[in-house]
Every structure is written in C-alpha cells, then in structure tokens.
C-alpha cells in the first residue's frame, strides 16, 4: 500500500466537490455583480465541462474556476491552470459553440481563482479576463 507523506492529508471527495461548488457560486456572484450575464453553469459534453459561460457585453466568455484552501501546500489557484487544462477548455468550448446557436461574437477565456480562508470563507477572489 502506498503511503501518503506526513504533511499531506487525503482530500475527501465530498469536501473537494463542496469547495468547487462554493468557488463556482462565488465566481458567478462576482461576475453577475460586475455586469456579466451567466448563461450556463457546469455545461458538460463527452470532452469535459465548462464551469461558467457568460455574456459580457457582446463577448461570450468561458470561465474556468479554480480554488484552493491551502495555497502554500499545492500552489495557488491560478497556478492550477495548466497548458493542458487550457487546451481542454478550448476544446470543450469549441463543442459548445458548434452545438449552440449563438450569433457570431467575440469569444474570451477568463479565469476566476478563489482562495478560501481557514473558516471556509472567501479570502481572495481574483478575476483574470483573457487569461488564455
């Protein structure tokens, strides 16, 4: 049996799911308060999932939401956006665009990074328009 290093505890899947849901909720609330219209949440297809899809003026925005509870242990939420993840989000966005009847408009890929404090509160929320 593989042993976990002493400074790492396993993350319970339910806790991780709840953390992701809370981060997406915080991101949607923030974007809504800043003039975005949320069109879809957790849009899925065979290739993957898009966390949030929003309209910002005439721009269709695909938003990847990342969160961290302990940014020093695994890096920051922003650092969790890898080139592989960017490529996957772009690929799923292509599927979305091919299945929906959106008029031609600008497309942008944003990131919302949420860091939670010790009590589970949102300690920091960083919105990065045009992140990739």
Least Cα distance to 58 among 96, 106, 103, 101 occurs for 106
How far, in Å, CA of 93 to CA of 60, rounded? 10
Instruction: Kindly list the domain boundaries of the chain, sorted by start residue.
Output: 13-128
Instruction: Match domain 13-128 to its CATH number in 3.40.1350.10, 3.30.530.20, 3.20.20.70, 3.30.300.30.
Output: 3.40.1350.10
What predicted TM-score, i.e. pTM, was given to this entire model?
Answer: 0.84
pLDDT tens, 95-120?
999 998 877 789 999 999 999 998 88
Confidence check: pLDDT of 71 > 80: no
Residue 110: CB atoms within 10 Å: 22
64 in Cβ contact with 82 (< 8 Å)? no
How far, in Å, CA of 17 to CA of 50, rounded? 15
* Best-predicted range by mean pLDDT (2-6, 26-30, 66-70, 96-100): 26-30
Range 5-22 average pLDDT: 67
How far, in Å, CA of 96 to CA of 48, rounded? 11
How far, in Å, CA of 107 to CA of 60, rounded? 5
Element (H, E) at 88: helix 83-99
Confidence check: pLDDT of 70 > 80: no
């Amino acid at each position: 049996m593989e042993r976990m290093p002493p400074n790492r505890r396993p993350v319970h899947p339910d806790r991780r799911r709840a953390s992701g849901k809370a981060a997406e909720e915080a991101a949607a609330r923030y974007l809504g308060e800043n003039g975005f219209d949320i069109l879809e949440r957790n849009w899925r297809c065979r290739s993957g999932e898009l966390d949030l899809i929003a309209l910002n003026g005439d721009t269709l925005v695909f938003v990847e939401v990342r969160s961290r509870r302990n940014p020093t242990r695994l890096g920051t939420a922003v650092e969790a956006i890898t080139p592989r993840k960017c490529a996957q989000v772009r690929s799923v966005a292509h599927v979305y665009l091919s299945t929906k009847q959106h008029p031609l408009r600008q497309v942008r890929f944003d990131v919302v990074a949420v860091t939670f404090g010790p009590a589970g509160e949102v300690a920091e929320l960083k919105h990065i328009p045009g992140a990739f």
